Amino acid sequence: MPVCDVVTALRSERDEDTMADEEPPPDDGPQVVCTSFQGAKGLAAQHVFIVGMNDGHFPYRPSDPSELETCEFIVALTRGRRQCHLVSCGNFAGKWCDPSIFLQWVAPYTETITANKDYFA
């Protein structure tokens, strides 16, 4: 199926006039924003989650993190007003992953929580 046919099939049947008359959703609950490291620059939140904290992912080369990766990590850490949660996984797509070298850099200031089947019991 061509891409244009997929887009047409997924497009809403509503026209722009109908959408303009709709009210925005009420602002009565927490908001979640997912963004990249670059997109987070200038933003702040009560709780920030940095996911993918595994060697080979972030940083790509754990023995030699790039200057850009180091800057991205610092920017991400400083976005949280209350807490910054660093998330790594032990197994991804059937492969075991080592925690990011960046986690060692901040280890004296962090608390490690392992979420496994016992954690949720």
The model's pTM: 0.68
Q: Is residue 9 part of a domain?
A: no
> What pLDDT was estimated at residue 66?
95
Q: Tell me: the pLDDT tens digits for 76-113?
A: 999 989 999 999 998 888 889 999 999 999 999 999 98
Domain span at residue 37 reads 25-109
Q: H helices within 11-66, ranges in order?
A: 16-21, 37-40
Mention every residue, 6+ apart, whose C-beta is less than 8 A from residue 43: 33, 35, 79
Q: Tell me: the pLDDT tens digits for 1-36?
A: 555 555 555 554 444 444 555 566 667 777 888 888
Q: Is residue 65 part of a domain?
A: yes
The number of distinct structural domains making up the chain is 1
Q: Tell me: the pLDDT tens digits for 29-63?
A: 778 888 888 888 888 889 999 999 999 999 999 99
Nearest-5° Cα angle at 19, 16 to 20: 85
Above 60 in pLDDT, residue 67? yes
CATH number, domain containing residue 87: 3.40.50.300
